[in-house]
Chains A and B, each alone.
Chain A
Amino acid sequence: MSPTRIRVGIAGVGTSAFGRFPTERIETLGWAAITEALDDAGLRPDEVDAVWLGSVFGPAGLANRVLAGVGVTGVPVFKVEAACASGTVAFHEAVEAVRLGRYRRVLAVGVEQLSTVFTGPIVPEATDPEGSAGLALPALYALQANRYLAEHGLDASVLGHIAVKNKRAGSLNPRAHLGGSPPSLEQVLGSRPVAGPLTLLQCCPMTDGAAAAVIAPLDDAGPDPIEVLASAFVSGHHWGADTDAPWSMDTVARAADRAFAAAGLERSDVDVAEMHDAFTIGEVLTTEALGLADPGTAASLAARGETALGGRLPINPSGGLLSRGHPLGATGLAQTAELVWQLRGRADGRQVDGARTALLETMGGGAAGVDGNACVVALLGRR
């Protein structure tokens, strides 16, 4: 990683509501998120120097149509697709652009409207060898879950604790798609089976939404800046018969190693984390791949409350993708917004006391034969 030239800050964040909005224009989701982020940063739209927009299923021209509605015109606009990590890649690119002095004030945005593209779950990609063979995303994770459970001699019920924990936190998040009263472990495990050990309440909902962040040099990052201590972006190597680790783990571990090394931090420095829990097993594998839990222990940490709000290391205090929902391209920036609120001490009702260092992780996956399309791990800190 190149030496740090400019210290980078997050000047402002914002999100749309999260839910199913099939009758809304897709642009309105982006407008809500960007408006809140610019207001938060105290910036006018004509002060934005460049934009990265992440979306997976967003239509052609989406980025410019969104930006034209909030006065951000005439500047370079980049649209990125990195599966579930699209928004986090937009964030990473914005951070690196500022760090290297390419642009000064950069807007990172994620926008997704799944309700107008799919009537049910995401349909596997027909041009992908495994998608074409019936590998729905819950099935991809279910295969990892069964391998992981067998490897560690664990009962499938341990995964349910992740859903209980995250939905409890999500019930405290007014922006969550699935709020309301959180389910019991019995209700999680007794909900409709989807794939392998994964029941319906262990799967994130199909959600529409947008999120945004304004990135700028730390000394010019608004009234309440959060520093980006490091951000690492990798894609997966080949995954196949010579890979023993469940899919995604080596990729997450590589991104984490780079981010911690670049920030000069230890795993024990992390006070709060938002990570990719599209399915309960995802949080389990990710927590262990990040080095935040010993192999085979992440689910039991959740069961004991150690990774819950009030625990030693709260993971997904927003309620995660399991509660907020998973508007693919927007997810990484929604995670970013949550961590900024946590570090500013403004996460009403779900605040992690005294949080000073936060970890952000998003995994984008699904291309056959590779260990994930993209993974970003970033470390954020209160100045």
Chain B
Amino acid sequence: MTVADPRPVLDGRTVRGSRCSACGTADAWERDRCGRCLGPSESRAFGPDGTVWSSADVHLAVGHRAAPYTLAYVDLSGADGPGPRVLARLVPGGEVPPGTAVEIVGDDEGDIAVTVAGVGR
């Protein structure tokens, strides 16, 4: 059975999210109430710049992804404060140290695709 795609929605090279005007929490999903405090949230675009929190090569085929592929938790930038942490595909594959600057380059079958900043696209 198919289900609603729960992955963050991309708008070009940014993630369509929201920020709470009460507590400032950034959400990688567009919502009108904050998932943390239920305060009012407003639409924001996060990225394309981000910083790798951690990355790992995955040697299991999962869904459409052939092994190996590389996943990374990426803390996205925001215009008015830090953005959300999102799970992204690092392309081309290969682990990078925490703190590595990356940027969103688009999507790979709906996964957020990031590449090391300055490496070119």
Report Cα–Cα, A130/B72, bound state, in Å: 11
A139 within 8 A of partner (CB): yes
What sequence of 0s and 1s flags, for each residue 56-96 of chain B, a beta carbon within 8 Å of any chain A beta carbon? 11111011010001011101100000111101110000010
Q: CB within 8 Å of B: which of A218-250?
A: 238-243
Q: What DSSP secondary structure best describes chain A's contact surface? A: loop
Residues of B within 8 Å of A196, CB to CB, are 56-58, 95
Q: Mark B1-21, 1 if CB is under 8 A from A, else 0.
A: 001111110000000000000
Indicate if the CB atoms of B75 and A241 lie closer than 8 Å.
yes
A134 contacts the other chain (CB 8 A): yes
Contact among B54, B58, B62, B65 for A147, CB-based, below 8 A: B54
Tell whether A143 is near chain B: CB-to-CB under 8 Å: yes
Flag if B62 contacts A134 (CB, 8 Å).
yes
Question: Of B63, B82, B112, which contacts A241 at CB under 8 A?
Answer: B82
Query: Can you name the residue of chain A whose Cβ is closest to the Cβ of B112?
Result: A133
Bound Cα distance from A151 to B99, whole angstroms: 11
A190 at the interface (CB under 8 A from B): no
Q: A121-B60, A238-B36 are in contact. Are A134 and B69 (CB under 8 A)?
A: yes
Known: A147-B98, A241-B83. A195 touches B3 (CB 8 A): no
Q: CB within 8 A of A146: which of B4, B25, B56?
A: B56
The smallest beta-carbon distance between B54 and chain A, in angstroms, is: 4
Count of B interface residues, CB-CB < 8 Å: 41
Known contacts A129-B6, A146-B98, A240-B84; A134 and B111 CB within 8 A of each other: yes
B36 CB contacts on chain A under 8 angstroms: 238
Q: Please tell me the number of chain A residues within 8 Å of chain B, measured between CB atoms.
A: 37
**Interface contact B87-A241, CB-CB below 8 Å:** no
Query: Is A127's CB under 8 angstroms from B58's CB?
Result: no
Residue of A nearest to B81 (CB): A241
Q: Does B55 belong to the interface (CB within 8 Å)?
A: yes
Any chain A CB within 8 A of the CB of B26? yes
CB-defined contacts of B120 to chain A, threshold 8 Å: none
The interface residues of chain B lying within 8 Å CB-to-CB of A139 are 56, 58, 60, 71
Query: In the assembled complex, which residues on chain B have CB atoms less than 8 Å from the CB atom of A242?
Result: 82
Which residues of chain B come closer than 8 Å to A368, judged between CB atoms? Answer: 6, 87
| Chain B contact residues, CB within 8 Å of chain A | 3-8, 25-26, 28-29, 35-36, 53-60, 62-63, 65, 69, 71-73, 75-76, 82-85, 87-89, 95, 97-98, 111-112
Q: Interface of A with B (CB < 8 Å)?
A: 120-121, 123-124, 126-130, 132-136, 138-139, 142-147, 150-151, 192-196, 238-243, 368-369
